[in-house]
Structure formats: structure tokens, C-alpha cells
Structure 1
Amino acid sequence: MFVRIVKLSFEPSKIETFLENFHENKEHIRNFEGCRFLELYQDKNQDNIFFTYSYWEKESDLENYRHSELFKKVWANTKPLFNGKPEAWSVDKLESLQ
């Protein structure tokens, strides 16, 4: 399993549109084959910056999602809202303390 972290920066006037799109699709994304966890975070100081954290079973699961009709639909609605290039990282979780 690995973690996918995506940083998204939006035009401030487009935040509500992004949130509506995310809320409409979050259950579908979370229930996509191989996705085990999904969270959305908002920066405390720059409220137009968001991060998604998702846990995936295998890299092929994430790639299948990225080539799916669901992703194409979500991305088509999200991409025009950006005010900066999104950044993404795939990382392995080494430790987790609770």
C-alpha cells in the first residue's frame, strides 16, 4: 500500500465550485477499486490551497483510476479552477503513531 498526496491551488473565487465537485465525487473515488482511504485538507493560512491524501493498494490501482471515466469527469471539472500547477507525490508510509 502507498499514499498519494496531491497539492491543489485554486482561484479563490472557485473554491466553492471545487468543494461541490469534490463532495459529489468523494464516495465514488473512495470506493474505486484499490482505494482504501481518502481525505481532503485545507491550508490554515492560504484557504485556496488544498491537499488530498489517498491510500492505494497498488500503483496499478491508482493508474486504473487515473485512466477511468470517473477521473476524467472529476479532472475536467477541477482543472479549470486552478491558479497554479497541481503537485503530486506517491510515498510509502514508514511509520504511523496514534
Structure 2
Amino acid sequence: MSIVIRIVRMTFQPDRTADFLKIFRDSEALIRQMPGCQHLELWQDADLPHVYCTHSHWDSAEALNAYRRSELFGQVWPATKALFAAPVLAFSVNQVDASFNLR
């Protein structure tokens, strides 16, 4: 079974990015401690400084969904969502091993 990689691209109101960064800093350690969370990092768009992505790895879709149903998510997500300037783009992917022989 492969891990689930979750990417969430968020466009913030430019004057609210500091508010988002505070929310992220205050919650990132707690998110990393959630059962099934293997990895969490924050990326900033190279050209659009008010656009950020979270990149996380989860043991399974069930672990990700358990986090999304958690009290922590119920606090973090509404506070973050209030700062958006555009709809969020969120998707889950699985890593592909492309090293197999094509013959």
C-alpha cells in the first residue's frame, strides 16, 4: 500500500498572508502529530507570494480523512478558509514507480 500525498493550493488575500502564516505556525506541529501523518511542509509560489501550498504525506486515505474529521481540522480550516481570495485547489496523488521495464 502506498502513501497518500495531499497537495492543497491556497490563494490568499495579499494583506492576509501573515494571518495564514500564524495559523500554520501554530498548528503545524499538531498536524504532524496526527495519526498517519508522515510529512507536512509549506510551499510558497515562486511568482505569486500570496499563494501557498501544503504538501503532506499520509499512511492512507483513511488517515487523511480522519484528520479532516478531527477537532483540530475543524479549528484550522475555517480560520484559514476565511482568508482566501480564490477557491482552493486540493488533490491527493500516489507516487508512481516508473522504473519498470517497458519491453
TM-score normalised by L of structure 1 = 0.94
Among 5, 8, 11, the alignment partner of 1:6 is 8
The percentage of counterpart residues that share the same residue type is: 38
Unpaired segments of 5 or more residues in structure 1? none
The answer for the alignment partner of 1:70 in structure 2 is 72
Among 90, 93, 96, the alignment partner of 1:94 is 96
Unpaired segments of 5 or more residues in structure 2? 98-103
Query: Size of the alignment, in residue pairs?
Result: 95
The answer for the alignment partner of 1:39 in structure 2 is 41
Q: Please list every run of at least 4 consecutive aligned residues from structure 1 whose deviation after the TM superposition is greater than 4 angstroms.
A: none
Among 15, 20, 28, the alignment partner of 2:30 is 28
Amino acid at match of 2:48: Q
Once residues 57 and 84 of structure 1 are traced to their aligned partners in structure 2, the CA distance between those partners, rounded to angstroms, is: 29
RMSD (Å), alpha carbons: 0.7
SS in structure 2 opposite 1:72?
Answer: helix
The answer for the alignment partner of 1:18 in structure 2 is 20
